[in-house]
Amino acid sequence: MSEQIYDDIVAPMLLEVMKVCHEHGMPIVATVEYAPGDFGTSADLPANRSLPMDWSYVGARSNGNADVLIGHLVDQAKKRGHGSVFLKQLGVPTNPASVGDPA
């Protein structure tokens, strides 16, 4: 698939799906790899979204870079809390004071 096909055909279709999701308060993350290593990501993440939706978005936006992915996961976990054994081993508190803040 080429970027042009993504831009001309896929992205407008995704926009329609995203509009429906938005109208019904459903968070959405969609990523297409239109060429090896080249991605198009679209997302609509309302404030009341769950942590897994944030992490899905972070994964999509990290472009395969583990350091970027882990850094974002740690940042979100510090803000919202987590239940990860691995993040706990890294010293990330499971229940920070700002839990509940949809940052």
Banded model confidence at residue 98, pLDDT cuts 50, 70, 90: low
In single-letter form, the type of residue at position 4 comes to Q
Banded model confidence at residue 103, pLDDT cuts 50, 70, 90: very low
Distant-in-sequence, close-in-space partners of 72: CB < 8 Å, separation ≥ 6? 58, 61, 62
Please say if the pLDDT value at position 1 is more than 70: no
Mean pLDDT of the chain: 88
Structure-block tokens of residue 55: 């992490």
